[in-house]
Structures are given as structure tokens and as C-alpha cells.
């Protein structure tokens, strides 16, 4: 999973032709901590997507711009356009994320 270190690096993924899942997380978030061990499996089971983990606290302006106020949350983009979102304050399971991605 890609973890951008700068805003420039993060924005380089926005206009990609590849479907890109932006996963907003924060290390202090208990629901994110529960999800972290499943991330490699989620990524391996969804090879049609590129995964970018976004530290919500480091990119707070982007999170606000995209209306991401609950974490963990996922925003899927392709060619600069949003395709889908799973944004709420609920804990997300591996099965729920896989189902969400299968429907895109």
C-alpha cells in the first residue's frame, strides 16, 4: 500500500487512469488499528485497484475538501473523478470493504 510522504506525491495519484482507493486513516484511531492487519489481504484480493493510505491528520485540508470526517474511510477515484465512497464513522470489516470494492 502506498503511503505518500508529501502533498505533491499524493496529488500525483489523483488523475491516474487506474482505479485508486484512497484510504483515510489515523494512527490514533482504534477502528483503523483493527483494520490495519487486514490491509495486505484486502489489497491482494482487489488487484484491479491501487491503494493509497492517507493519514487524515497530515492531509486534513484534503479530507475536508472531500468531506471525509469519519475514519477509516475510502474514496475511490479514476481519471480525476470520484467513482465511489465508503465514508462514515463506523468500523469497517475486511468483508465490508471487499463487498464495496466488488460493486464498483
Choosing from 10, 29, 39, 62, the catalytic residue is 29
- Phi, psi torsion values for 18, nearest 5 degrees: -80, 140
Known catalytic membership, residue 32:
yes
CB 87 within 8 A of CB 29: no
Of 10, 21, 32, 54, the catalytic one is 32
Q: How far apart are CA 22 and CA 43, in angstroms?
A: 12
Q: Is 58 one of the annotated active-site residues of the chain? A: no
Question: Any idea which residues carry the catalytic annotation?
Answer: 29, 32
Amino acid at each position: 500500500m502506498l503511503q505518500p510522504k508529501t502533498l505533491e506525491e499524493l496529488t500525483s495519484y489523483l488523475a491516474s487512469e487506474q482505479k485508486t482507493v484512497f484510504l483515510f486513516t489515523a494512527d490514533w484511531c482504534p477502528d483503523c488499528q483493527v483494520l490495519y492487519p487486514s490491509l495486505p489481504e484486502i489489497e491482494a484480493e482487489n488487484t484491479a485497484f491501487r491503494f493509497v493510505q492517507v493519514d487524515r491528520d497530515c492531509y486534513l485540508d484534503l479530507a475536508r475538501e472531500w468531506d471525509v470526517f469519519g475514519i477509516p474511510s475510502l474514496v475511490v477515484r479514476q481519471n480525476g473523478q470520484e467513482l465511489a465512497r465508503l465514508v462514515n464513522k463506523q468500523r469497517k470489516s475486511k468483508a465490508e470493504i471487499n463487498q464495496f470494492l466488488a460493486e464498483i
